[in-house]
Amino acid sequence: MYILGLNAYHADSSAALFKDGVMIAASEEERFRRVKHWAGFPSEAIKFCLADANIGIDKIDHIAIGRDPKAKLLKKMVFAAAHPQIGIRAIQNRFLNAKKIASLSNEFAKLFPGCMEEEIKRKIHYVEHHHAHLASAFYASPFKDAALLSIDGSGDFTTTMLGIGHGTDIEEITSIDFPHSIGVFYSAFTQYLGFPHYGDEYKIMGLAPYGNPQYRDKLTDVVKLTKEGLFKLNLAYFNVTRGNVISYGDDHIPKVDQLYSQKLVDLFGPVRIKGEELSQFHKDLAASVQRFTEEIIFHLLQGLYERTKSTTLCLAGGVAQNSVANGKITRNTPFKEVYIPSAGHDAGISMGAALYVHHQLLKKERMPSIRSAYTGSHFSNEAIEQLLQKENVNFTSKEDDVLFDVVSDCLIHGGVVGWFNGRAEFGPRALGARSILADPRRQDAKELLNAKVKRRESFRPFAPSILAEYVEEYFEVKDNVPFMEKVFPIRKEKQSLLPAVTHVDGTGRLQSVEKETNPRYYHLIEAFFRKTGVPVLLNTSFNENEPIVNTPLEALDCFRRTNMDMLVLENIVIERKRMS
């Protein structure tokens, strides 16, 4: 049985394909369109999934989309009537988006000429946004029973959903409706601090450790924690009842309205203009917003624990990408184990919608937990060689053992390496399939990377990939973190060994690398370990202000326009000094 899951007409559009309950292919549409957070019908991701499985659309038994236009329809109407200042244009935009969702069968008929629209209609299931988030975490987890939390900006008029999972069943406990949203709260301050684009929130996480949370108490008037273990925004500080919040134009790029109001400016002072030098005030406010966000999440989780008494947690949603907060959950709440999928953000909606149909609706038995994120594009050495010959690029081909030796030597001697290996990752993190690598022991590694490739803000940290067996030796918290979704303190005695991946507060966003899930990346780190005594590499995404590279040609183009020292495409090596 084949189930195709979709996130469509929403930021981070994606497709995921399951065969008999096992995810066999999944990818974000942005990887093909080369536009970050692309929102629309994920036609290229769908075609990739079907081609990867070598099947046609006629073989799909069910199509699951992580949106339900009918969800909380009455509440939506009441909200619109109570807030006439929203305006006709905003209401029209939401109506048109819902209309697109309701006419998916027409898109399939255009994409696959000859397929019957009525037949497609019969296969489509509409899964509420947060149910799909919960499913993406619970059904992919190793837990038979777990407390569930989905938390993001907004989806199907819900911003936060608490639930519990038992076997193949997910039960919704309660939810919080728009406009009361921690995603809106965090994004509003992201904009206020001069980072205006959709998805810029991670910059606040990176900036926060440079400040002190001295404005935390002021924020208690902005968000109110309730006795029920929930929260409410003080809407006077936000513009969320006055416009679109998020809209999508013909370019399919998410655009966020100004979320903060004049009252917030009156409380904190002038807005930072993009490009303005970051002051200590800006850093302190970022620290305060991050600290208070963590407290809100812990408050929600304490209430969830009291309702469920479970010590296992499954977490998803855009706010679940706050890896700093995620790393503190087991130390600040009763939860002992936490599972977060590789695509915990909205791209994971496609995976979750398909899993929801398979287990919740069809009552099929649970499959083994998803431990690998490697479900995207892949290319053979032969195809890569043909490309490079066409591009007139000098290269050498090496067996694995020689390859690991050559690459580790390059890293040890200060080289920056583009590493293109196996199937691409599903989710926002590079996990050793489409990565740029460097030596974590170098004091100047961050400067080298920013000078040669990334050209990003100096306050943003780079992440460590570590052999799974050595996590406890290097980090204060022992955990299995295959998807780089948690930040943990690095042991004080190890921080001087890892200056390039130790953030200013002594933490690192951990990726534990297992031999079973990515053997070639594991063996590369192992080769570096044998030579240096350090089982860690600096790992950042293989891109330059664009979506992560998806094809060998995109990797080659990125290599050409930057100053990386070496490009590795499977077993093929290109060295800058030998390119011409």
Taking alpha carbons only, the member of 131, 6, 20, 15 closest to residue 362 is 20
CATH number of the domain that 428 lies in? 3.90.870.20
Structure tokens at 23: 């995810």
Same structural domain for residues 401 and 466?
Answer: yes
Within a domain: 366: no
Closest alpha carbon to 186 in 274, 292, 264: 292
DSSP state string for 478-509: ----TTS-EEEEBPHHHHTT-TTT--TTSEEE
pTM score, two decimals? 0.96
> CA dihedral defined by 367, 372, 373, 375, rounded to 10 degrees?
-70
> Are 116 and 197 members of one domain?
no
69 in a domain, yes or no? yes
Residue 173, in any domain of the structure: yes
Same domain, 235 and 208: yes
Structure tokens at 385: 């060689």
173-192 as b/e, with b when 16 or more CB fall inside 10 Å?
eebbbbbbbbbbbbbbbbbb
Alpha helices in 113-165 (DSSP H): 117-123, 129-138
Cis bond before residue 179 (omega within 30° of 0)? yes
DSSP 3-state of 81: helix
- Provide the number of structural domains found in the chain: 3
Token pair, residue 93, equals 């935009």
Length of the chain: 580
- Provide the residue range defining the domain that includes 561: 381-578
518 residue type, one letter: N
Q: How many Cα atoms within 13 Å fall on the side-chain side of residue 492?
A: 0
**CATH number of the domain that residue 323 is part of:** 3.30.420.40
Same domain? 193 vs 230 = yes
Same domain, 235 and 320: yes
Helices and strands in the chain: count of H runs, count of E runs: 22, 23
CA-to-CA dists, residue 58 to 21, 27, 206, 559, angstroms = 18, 21, 46, 40
Q: Which residues contact 334 (CB under 8 A, 6 or more apart)?
A: 302, 305, 311
Query: What strands lie across the sheet with 145-155, from one edge to the other?
Result: 169-177, 158-166, 145-155, 312-316, 337-339
List beta partners, residue 254.
248
Task: Please indicate, yes or no, whether residues 388 and 357 belong to a single structural domain of this protein.
Answer: no
Structure tokens at 452: 């040669």
Task: Assess contact for 163 and 148: CB atoms under 8 A.
Answer: yes
Is residue 376 a part of any domain in this protein? no
Does residue 399 sit within a domain?
Answer: yes
Contact assessment for residue 231 and residue 273, using Cβ atoms and an 8 Å cutoff: no
Does a structural domain hold residue 112?
yes
Does 330 share its domain with 430?
A: no
Question: Residue 93: what pLDDT?
Answer: 63
Pull the structure tokens for residue 446. Answer: 């961050």
Determine the Cα–Cα distance for residues 302 and 308; give it in Å rounded to an integer.
10
Residue 482 lies in a domain: yes
Predicted pLDDT at 454: 78
Closest CA to 158 of 184, 190, 136: 184
Residues 196 and 313 in one domain: yes
Taking the C-alpha atoms of residue 269 and residue 262, their distance in angstroms, rounded to an integer, is 10
- Pair 251, 119 in one domain: no
3-state secondary structure of 63: strand
Quick one: 131 and 191 in the same domain?
no
Cβ 286 vs Cβ 192: under 8 Å: no
Q: Are 513 and 535 in contact (CB under 8 A)?
A: no
Q: Of 379, 337, 356, 330, which is closest to residue 132 (Cα–Cα)?
A: 356
Query: Domain check: are 115 and 202 in the same one?
Result: no
Asked whether the beta carbons of 169 and 363 are under 8 A apart, the reply is: no
Q: Count Cβ atoms within 10 A of the Cβ of residue 347 and give its class: 0-12 exposed, 13-18 middle, 19 or more buried.
A: buried
Point out the residues of the chain with pLDDT beneath 50.
580
Query: 371 in a domain, yes or no?
Result: no
Specify the DSSP element, H or E, that contains 408. helix 400-412
Are 93 and 43 members of one domain? yes
